[in-house]
Amino acid sequence: MNLGFISLPVGPLILFASVIVALVAGRFAARRRRDGEAAAANIDQSIFNTLIVGLIVARLVFVGRYLPGYEGSIGKMLDFRDRGFDLFAGAAAGACVVAWIMLRRRALRKPLFVAVAAGVATWSVASAAAQFAQAPQTVPQVSVIDSSGQPRPLARNDGKPLVVNLWATWCPPCQAEMPVLAQAQAANGRVDVVFVNQGEARATVDDYLDSRGIHIANSMLDPNLAVARAVDAAGFPTTLFYDARGRLVARHLGPFSRATFEAALEQFYPADSAQKQEAAR
């Protein structure tokens, strides 16, 4: 079930495809000029510069917004594998780079415009298609095993949003994010966070948590991978976000950092985040 290192989230794949399309379109437009090869090389450099500046700014803005989540660790701030980026800041920075290049290099205006338009169109269409392809889903009607060894429904029906984390003790990304999610669970009483171990025995799970000093509530077992099959999980960890009515809001493949999990809660449950901030004042 776990595809491990070949399981990739959709967002980065769409970005990669969009960059490839932009490069191809820009090169095609540039080669129609007299200095085709030189112009094509300049287009490549311009696209990469735009991408790099956009990603750096997107990362810096995200880190700035969720600075406490990185606990003063430069290593965590630089570790972009948590996919913590501010989309709007990155897009604005990229647009500024494109505008600057167009102002200074008139010969590149048309091919660069073609490249950017093709890349943005690809990203927009692919993102919309990925969203449309996800049929409305609700919490799977399956049973999991609680800490006392009794079966119980995965759906809690207590009027709270539900976050379901599918994990395993042998999964390195799961190990990396477990302390983060345990801390978030303790700090977010308005959201149910349920940990559903995939395919392992209670003794294995408890020994793992005890050996690392991790304390979590709602530790469930799914010995037959029923939840993973029901939600078509491509790999572990997979985290599913449901609203208070049990409707799937979003799914996330890969580990969270403290900052990116806080950002996800704010994005998917804005009302609960607002109430939490108000209570903290």
Give the C-alpha separation, 208 to 250, whole Å: 28
Q: Which domains does the chain have, with CATH numbers?
A: 8-133 (no CATH), 143-280 (3.40.30.10)
DSSP 15: H
Quick one: tokens of 258?
């403290």
Token pair of 242 as six digits? 């449901």
Q: What pLDDT does 34 receive? A: 64
**Measured distance CA(190)–CA(45) in Å, rounded:** 48
Q: How confident is the model at residue 5 (pLDDT cuts 50, 70, 90)?
A: very low
The packing angle between helices 36-65 and 258-268, to 10°, is 90
Higher-confidence position of 201 and 235: 201
Q: Say which DSSP state 8 is in.
A: -
Sole residue written with tokens 């208070």: 244
pLDDT tens-digit profile of 269-279? 987 554 554 44
**Residue with token string 């983060």:** 180
How would DSSP label each residue in 63-109?
HHHTGGGGTT-HHHHH-GGG----HHHHHHHHHHHHHHHHHH-GGGH
Q: What does the block give as tokens for 6?
A: 């070949």
Say if residue 42's pLDDT is above 80. yes
Q: What is the pTM of this model?
A: 0.77
Helix, strand, coil share (%) of the chain residues, nearest 5: 60, 15, 30
